[in-house]
Amino acid sequence: MAIRNIRIMGDEVLTKRCKEITTMTPRLKMLIEDMAETMYDANGVGLAACQVGVLKRIVVIDVSEEGNDLMVFINPEIIETDGEQEGYEGCLSVPDKSGWVKRPNRVVVKALNEDLQPFTLEGEGLLARAILHECEHLDGHLYVEHVEGGEQGLISNEKLRTEEE
């Protein structure tokens, strides 16, 4: 396993649509392991393959407090959303910044697991936010498109921590 470089906003790879996966290979399994290690190392809750420069439809997410509940989504597709939540959101590809974002509070996603077996998952709250955020990466979109006030609405995480205290 290896920690990969996270691509930063402005990198063209983050604007491209990722390609579907039809077969699992040892290289893709290694990519998934590297993505998880990279996400945990950066203290993130989600990471899309394009964020490490690979245009494949793979997302890893772990919203658990302990960081021990890794979920892998291959070719994820949002099939239902409901409700509304709003709050500050950040991204490993937009380091040290957060922005106020409204998203659905509940999401249903269908995807394939690491063995390319289909599954459906319903998520609420932070999990719904993470699924929606990461799936948008796969289509070449960043969360700043949803930030109230656009890029000008981003604030430093240090300032956000100060305001919360």
Provide the annotated active-site residues. 134
Tokens at 28, concatenated = 């893709």
Residue 29 C-alpha from the chain's centroid = 18
Helix (H, G, I), strand (E, B) or coil at 144: helix
**Biggest CA pair distance of the chain:** 48
Tokens at 142, concatenated = 């960043």
Contact yes or no for 110/79 (Cβ under 8 A): yes
Closest CA to 95 of 13, 28, 7, 161: 7
| CB atoms closer than 10 angstroms to residue 119 | 11
Question: Which residues, at least 6 apart from 162, have a Cβ–Cβ distance to it below 8 Å?
Answer: none
